[in-house]
Amino acid sequence: MPHFLLYAANLHVGGAVQVATSVIDELSASLQDAGGISLLVSSEVDKNLKGIGVPLQRFRSYRVEDHHGLRAITADLSRDLYDVQAMLVVFGPLYRLRTRIPCIVGFAQPWIIYPDNEIASAMPRVARWRARLKFAVQSLFFRKADLLVVELEHVRKRLDTLGIAAKSRVSVVRNCLSAIYGDPTRWQQAPQLVPAGGFRLGFVGRDYAHKNTRIFPEVRAILKREFGLDVSIHVTFSDEEWAACPPAFRAAVVNAGSLTVAQCPGFYQQLDGVIFPSLLECFSATPLEAMAMRRPLFASDRPFNRDVCGDHAFYFDPLDPYSVAAAISTSICAPAATEEKVKAAYRHLMEMPGPQMRARQYLECLRSVVAARNV
């Protein structure tokens, strides 16, 4: 049996932690596959795995260690790589000067493939060039991978166009809904949302600039002033992110705090709708989760959303708060049509490949790079 290493010690926040948790969960379902896989994960991934009861004893070995940014280049992986034929980095870059074994790296850094985006153009010159330098360094490490794995075809095309990796060195493994959404017995209680009245909108994610969450106070004000609607907006920021928000933002928005993977379904259950105004993504699981929990999705009219949702979301111009408010108002004022749209969205989701297929595809990629090295 080949011996593979799954590396997720560099994942600490956001959707990357959820993906790693889901992939490991699916791999644990097969005793034969799990027995040939060693895991090196971060403390945050470890917390989420244990939170949903993944049988970690099924894997060949399991170790928890936190690697942060470029400092990971000094980490000693000798014992983790012993007798390993290939390595899967769930999301990179992997900060190593070289590895003796084939290395597959997940790519999900939209700033590298779309450098001339709205957020970058609005940044002060020094900050913009600092960001460009950071992503240029990351790009160098991504280029070292034997194979890059991306979640949508548009990412593969951009990597090829920019010369980061030819299409032959990029595989598309579509992201998918975590299996936990189909198993309520594994859900954990989420923080109780307040206030109790009005229409509740929720955003699951970090407070990154490209997530475009700063429009929330104005959207809420327009909904009240122009449409006469009482709408509350709930976010899932860490304590540090929340403390850094402007006072006007904190006065208009409610923070539920960071959630584990197992708490996300309970958060969605308390919402009347999900808002996702992001400007820049390779892929996000939020639209899938909204469809799975049968909540109307209000999303930015961008290809990374339409590629996943088709016509099953209420789209808006993310740069125009009035457009956002109008999309929300349209849904609230037409509940019957919204219910039909939500049902159609759920059927659309059920036709997509599941997490088992994703885990199988990752294993196929690992076997393929081993075979290529042995030719």
Supply 254's token pair.
């409610």
Q: Are 148 and 170 in contact (CB under 8 A)?
A: yes
Structure confidence at residue 126 as a pLDDT band (50, 70, 90): very high
User: Which CATH number among 3.40.50.1000, 3.40.50.2000, 1.10.630.10, 3.40.50.720 corresponds to the domain 4-176+354-374?
Assistant: 3.40.50.2000
Q: What is the DSSP string of 39-105?
A: EEE-HHHHHHHHHTT--GGGSSEEEE----GGGGGG---HHHHTT-SEEEESSS----S--SS-EEE
Question: Residue range 72-81: average pLDDT?
Answer: 92
Judging by beta carbons within 10 Å of its beta carbon (0-12, 13-18, 19+), is residue 172 exposed, middle or buried? middle
Question: Residue range 13-42: average pLDDT?
Answer: 93
Domain extents for the chain?
4-176+354-374, 182-350
pTM of the model: 0.89
Q: Are 3 and 39 in contact (CB under 8 A)?
A: no
Which residue bears the tokens 């959404």?
181
CATH topology of domain 182-350: Rossmann fold (3.40.50)
pLDDT of residue 372: 86
pLDDT of residue 213: 97
Which residues 6+ apart lie within 8 Å of 310 measured at CB?
A: 348
Supply 144's token pair.
């070292």
Question: Residue range 58-87: average pLDDT?
Answer: 94
Calpha distance 144→96 (Å, rounded): 9
Structure confidence at residue 321 as a pLDDT band (50, 70, 90): very high
pLDDT tens-place string over residues 195-252? 767 899 999 999 999 999 999 999 999 999 999 999 999 999 999 999 999 999 999 9
Calpha distance 267→98 (Å, rounded): 42
Calpha distance 17→20 (Å, rounded): 5
Q: What is the DSSP string of 294-306?
A: T--EEEESSHHHH
Please state, as a whole number, how many other Cβ atoms lie within 10 Å of the Cβ of residue 55. Answer: 12
pLDDT of residue 61: 96
Please determine whether the domains at 4-176+354-374 and 182-350 fall in the same fold group of CATH.
yes
pLDDT of residue 99: 84
